[in-house]
Amino acid sequence: MAEITAKDVKALRDATGAGMMDAKRALTECDGDFDRAVAWLRERNLGKAAERAGNENAQGAVAVAVTPDGTSAALVELKSETDFGAKSPQFVALVNELAEAVAADGDAVVQARKDAIDDLKVTLKENIEPGRVVRFQAEAGAVIGTYLHVQNDRGVNGVLLELAGGDAELAHDLAVHVAFGRPQYLSREDVPADAVAEERATAERQTRLEGKPEAALEKIVEGKLTGWFKRVPGGVLLEQPYAKDDKKSVQQVLGSAKVVRFAQAVIGE
């Protein structure tokens, strides 16, 4: 039996995040073999991690990354049980690494990095899993704007936005608008038709109950519907008042430019 020293135990703890007694037991079970002890701990603790798979993981962190040539960008959310875990250097480093890898090589790399996510589950003793993963590859002539709101050392609100016919500054400003406006849809056409029909019927009933003249009914209903598009749960981006100039809609600010698409991930939503 190999002698297990305090230095050996500390080295294993530093490498795996295991507690002192677990590290000592692993070395004892593996006759002092460091690599075998690491594997022993990983197998044992992944079993425990599986037991936590059903735990709520509404916390986490978001990262955004753009390739050096600016043509591809990624948004990655990594979910955790607590903000304490999500703020840890290991957690933040991993979500940033994943975003950079997705931007460069596509979202399949998240599954390829499963072992790194599993190791973090063991280290932090939390139910950790990928949340939203999005990659944009810009069309020819388009630009990608990004924004990441950081709170307590971790990203909590990230946005990607692809803009055609506009510049990088406008793309960034629109990404900031999305971060805080939190629209769900790009245009009216993206709102489900049944939801629009239901809202139109509701607006007609309200207008009739208000005793408005029949001749004005259609115009009043359209006005109410326009207001609803701005505030429909999540909102319609092009209809929203622009954050930097609320006297104009996003559509008016765009002019001849066009938002191709956008994506957002917010921790806790």
Provide the pLDDT for residue 1: 59
- Please, which residues have CB within 8 angstroms of residue 92's CB and are 6 or more apart in sequence? 61, 63, 86, 153, 154
| Distance separating alpha carbons of residues 37 and 32, to the nearest angstrom | 7
One-character DSSP codes across 121-142? HHHHTS--EEEEEEEEEPPTTE
| Distance separating alpha carbons of residues 162 and 138, to the nearest angstrom | 7
Provide the pLDDT for residue 52: 61
Provide the pLDDT for residue 47: 45
Extract the runs of DSSP E, i.e. beta strands, from the chain.
59-66, 72-80, 129-137, 142-151, 154-164, 241-242, 245-249, 258-266
| Distance separating alpha carbons of residues 9 and 21, to the nearest angstrom | 9
Provide the pLDDT for residue 258: 97
Q: Are strands 72-80 and 129-137 parallel, antiparallel or unpaired?
A: antiparallel
In tens digits, the chain (269 residues) has pLDDT values of: 568 888 888 888 777 766 777 788 888 888 888 888 878 777 776 445 455 656 677 899 999 999 999 999 999 999 999 999 999 999 999 999 999 999 999 999 999 998 888 888 878 888 899 999 999 999 999 999 999 999 989 999 999 999 999 999 999 999 999 999 999 999 999 988 988 888 888 888 888 888 888 887 788 877 888 888 888 668 899 999 999 998 999 999 999 999 999 999 999 88
Provide the pLDDT for residue 197: 87
